[in-house]
A and B are shown apart, each in its own frame.
Chain A
Amino acid sequence: MMMRYAFFPGCVLEGAAAEAREATVAVCRALGIELVELTGWTCCGASHAQDADEAAALAVNARNLALAEQLGLPLLTACSTCTLMLRKAKAALGDEKVRAKVNRSLVAAGLAYAGTAEVTHLLWVLAGDFGLEKLKARVVRPLAGLKVAGYYGCHILRPPKIMDFEDHARPRSLLALTAALGAAAVDFPASRRCCGFHAVFPAEKDAFRMTGGINRAAVEAGADCVVTPCPLCQMQLDMRQPEGKAAVGGARDIPVLHLSQLVGLALGIPGGELGLARHVTDAAGIAAWPGK
């Protein structure tokens, strides 16, 4: 049976990280995973909207969940923060009183949320539902010799009561997935640290030190590239790599790939269709791996 999901691209996949959308769609098409974009989805609040208006932030995500329920499909995201925000909303709406209250507002749009929507992430679908053995069998271009530092960041793991796919203190999904693609998984000490993205405006200097520290740790671990399941982390580590490097130093630049791009390369999808030219830190060497 074909796997089907309601697709929640999230705002940055419409803008600065549009390449992650292209790559996600291309990978799912290649694997026979059908994505049905959730019509009328809105911003998840990005872990900021609740600071301005908690009730409104919950209600708009209840609407997103209600729309997914109408489709009768699990909601697939390609962003760790979107996943966390939607799952947090689902957890809050697990309380009957809260759900009844929010449903009184959803009525205004002719909607109701019953509480059944599932929210998942591309990484979890690949490492879980689809399965790494099956993924391995679909690899046509093994990334042999490519040393990949798997960077989880925060929201795909924490808090574990909401994000319970794997042990937050000892995650293995990226390592296992990288190995399934034929690449060499590099376990590096900064894999669960924060990239600083969500505080880049009010705490710029700290954010850049965090960004630079992660990239430097990946370089020092001998990685050829970093791969991450979160487009916000990717943007921070890639787009802000110059500031990060200026803040903490570093021997060389390192390309930072979206999870979907790395998978796409191994599936034989050309780098051009995965948006690898759209990176700030040159990823041409990875797109052409193993080169001549």
Chain B
Amino acid sequence: MGQVVYNIRRFDGRESYWQEYSFTHEANRTVLWGLLKIKETLDPTLTFVAACRSAVCGACAVRVNGQAVLACEAALDELLARFGSLLTVEPLGNFPVVRDLVVDWEPKAARLAAAKPWLLPKEEFSVADGCRQTAGEFKKINTQANCILCGSCASECNKLAAGDSDFYEPFVYSKMSKFVVDSRDGAAAEHLRPALEKGLWKCVHCQECVTNCPKRVEPAEDIAALRRESIRRGFTDNPGARHALAFRDDIAATGRLNEVTMALKTDGLIKSATRLPFALRLLRRGKLNPLHRPAPVTGIEGVRAILRAVKEEE
């Protein structure tokens, strides 16, 4: 292979523009190698952040062809094979940009603080004895503990892109979940409350966070765990919880979704009434039959027996 081209999204503090850099390909290199090559041989003004070069500090995350990656870890040859010899390199999405590929973590750190991402230890733990936990207990928080705060999940989050005033970055929910389930933590409610107040049910299930985390953290799964915990604690008076519970109940009742009651159960009667124009729109096209009631599936007794057995097993 001959030349590699990075088309880089630059920002000088006032204006944003694209700039192309071309350099000779070398095998078995990383995206970061290319950025360093540009800075050292082509353009010393190109600004980016990188530190550990070992995929542990999380500083060098950038977007390559629309996907967040750790520049120090992303194999150049793999990306070239996928996308061809032209790679677009941008700063992370859903972050304010400081300069070129450098994003501003200050506002994100402030938002993360809301989760109280530190241990609020149980009273029985002391300075002398520390906070011990079993291997099994540690396993429950091991995945979330891998988060290196690189911002990749936030970069591609569809909900954040639509609006961040009522939703945290996915990694914030992972941190919350970590301390909610940590056996050493005595104040789960403190970590859960900010989620209840902001965004717990607003995740759109786009799976970008799970897809893009370089450390295999699964924020969408952590959001689901926080939702279960909120329901367990009785926070069910909201459309998100009612929606999830309605699915669970429909499966036990007939095995299938009841479209008519689903909206009523989720929204309640008053809010549902405001959706009348929408319902009429569907009725006109024959997409909604208000009299339709799904009949119980063949073997519904078996479904219910399984659900009872699951409950007993738990």
- Report if B308 contacts A (CB, 8 A): yes
Is there contact, CB below 8 Å, between A201 and B211? no
- Report if B130 contacts A (CB, 8 A): no
Q: Which residues of A contact B208 (CB under 8 A)?
A: 154, 158, 194
- Bits for A252-292, please: 1 = Cβ < 8 Å to B, else 0: 00000000000000000000000001111000000000000
- Report if A220 contacts B (CB, 8 A): no
- Report if A97 contacts B (CB, 8 A): no
Q: Which residues of A contact B162 (CB under 8 A)?
A: 196, 203, 206, 209-210
Query: Which of B67, B210, B239, B257 has the largest count of A CB atoms less than 10 A from its CB?
Result: B257
CB contact under 8 A between A169 and B66, given known A105-B306, A202-B239, A280-B281: yes
CB contact under 8 A between A202 and B159, given known A51-B231, A56-B307, A278-B286: no
Residue among B67, B228, B287 making CB contact with A169, cutoff 8 Å: B67
Interface stretch (choices A8-16, A25-33, A116-124)? A8-16
Is there contact, CB below 8 Å, between B244 and A14? no
Is there contact, CB below 8 Å, between B227 and A51? yes
- Report if B188 contacts A (CB, 8 A): no
Is there contact, CB below 8 Å, between B207 and A59? no
- Bits for A51-77, please: 1 = Cβ < 8 Å to B, else 0: 111111101100100000000000000
Closest to A158 in B: B207
- Report if B23 contacts A (CB, 8 A): no
CB contact under 8 A between A40 and B203, given known A55-B310, A63-B302, A210-B162: no
Cβ distance B1 to chain A, nearest Cβ, rounded Å: 18
Q: Which residues of B contact A134 (CB under 8 A)?
A: none
Question: How many of chain B's residues touch chain A, expressed as a range?
Answer: 35 or more
Residue among A17, A41, A48 making CB contact with B297, cutoff 8 Å: A41
Cβ distance A292 to chain B, nearest Cβ, rounded Å: 25
Is there contact, CB below 8 Å, between A193 and B158? yes
- Report if B140 contacts A (CB, 8 A): no
CB contact under 8 A between A56 and B248, given known A16-B287, A104-B309, A202-B239: yes
Closest to B305 in A: A108
Is there contact, CB below 8 Å, between B251 and A50? no
Is there contact, CB below 8 Å, between A105 and B310? yes
Is there contact, CB below 8 Å, between B285 and A202? no
Is there contact, CB below 8 Å, between A52 and B247? yes
Q: Which residues of B contact A110 (CB under 8 A)?
A: 302
CB contact under 8 A between A203 and B251, given known A52-B244, A63-B303, A159-B211: no
Q: A278–B284 Cα gap in the complex (Å)?
A: 9
Is there contact, CB below 8 Å, between B247 and A42? no
Is there contact, CB below 8 Å, between B302 and A14? no
- Report if B196 contacts A (CB, 8 A): no
Residue among B204, B231, B240, B307 making CB contact with A206, cutoff 8 Å: B204
Cβ distance B281 to chain A, nearest Cβ, rounded Å: 6
Q: Which residues of A contact B281 (CB under 8 A)?
A: 239, 242, 280
Query: Which of B204, B297, B301 has the largest count of A CB atoms less than 10 A from its CB?
Result: B204
CB contact under 8 A between A42 and B206, given known A49-B244, A210-B162: no
Is there contact, CB below 8 Å, between A47 and B205? yes
Closest to A209 in B: B162
Is there contact, CB below 8 Å, between A169 and B82? yes
CB contact under 8 A between A48 and B244, given known A11-B257, A40-B298: yes
Closest to A205 in B: B163
- Bits for A101-133, please: 1 = Cβ < 8 Å to B, else 0: 100111111110000000000000000000000
Closest to B250 in A: A43
CB contact under 8 A between A210 and B211, given known A202-B201, A202-B202: no
Q: A43–B134 Cα gap in the complex (Å)?
A: 37
- Report if B256 contacts A (CB, 8 A): yes
A-B CB pair tally, cutoff 8 Å: 206
- Report if A142 contacts B (CB, 8 A): no
Query: Which of B244, B294, B300 has the largest count of A CB atoms less than 10 A from its CB?
Result: B244
Is there contact, CB below 8 Å, between B204 and A199? yes
Q: A89–B44 Cα gap in the complex (Å)?
A: 50
Q: Which residues of A contact B257 (CB under 8 A)?
A: 11-12, 15, 43, 46
Is there contact, CB below 8 Å, between A55 and B314? yes
Q: A49–B231 Cα gap in the complex (Å)?
A: 12
CB contact under 8 A between A196 and B282, given known A42-B251, A43-B250, A170-B82: no
Cβ distance B198 to chain A, nearest Cβ, rounded Å: 12
Query: Which of B207, B239, B288, B311 has the largest count of A CB atoms less than 10 A from its CB?
Result: B207
Cβ distance A277 to chain B, nearest Cβ, rounded Å: 8
- Bits for B233-244, please: 1 = Cβ < 8 Å to A, else 0: 000001111011
Q: A51–B246 Cα gap in the complex (Å)?
A: 11
Closest to B208 in A: A158
Residue among B203, B282, B302, B311 making CB contact with A111, cutoff 8 Å: B302
Is there contact, CB below 8 Å, between A42 and B256? yes
Residue among B224, B251, B287 making CB contact with A60, cutoff 8 Å: B251
Cβ distance B111 to chain A, nearest Cβ, rounded Å: 18
- If A104-B309, A194-B205 are given as contacts, then 17 extra A-B residue pairs at C-beta distance below 8 Å, sorted by A number, are A42-B251, A42-B297, A50-B224, A56-B310, A56-B311, A60-B307, A105-B313, A109-B301, A109-B302, A109-B303, A109-B306, A154-B205, A198-B204, A201-B239, A209-B163, A210-B162, A278-B285
25 interchain pairs (CB within 8 A)?
A12-B259, A16-B288, A18-B287, A40-B302, A43-B247, A50-B228, A51-B227, A56-B251, A56-B311, A57-B248, A105-B310, A106-B306, A109-B301, A109-B302, A154-B207, A155-B205, A158-B206, A194-B205, A194-B208, A198-B204, A201-B266, A202-B201, A209-B163, A280-B285, A280-B287
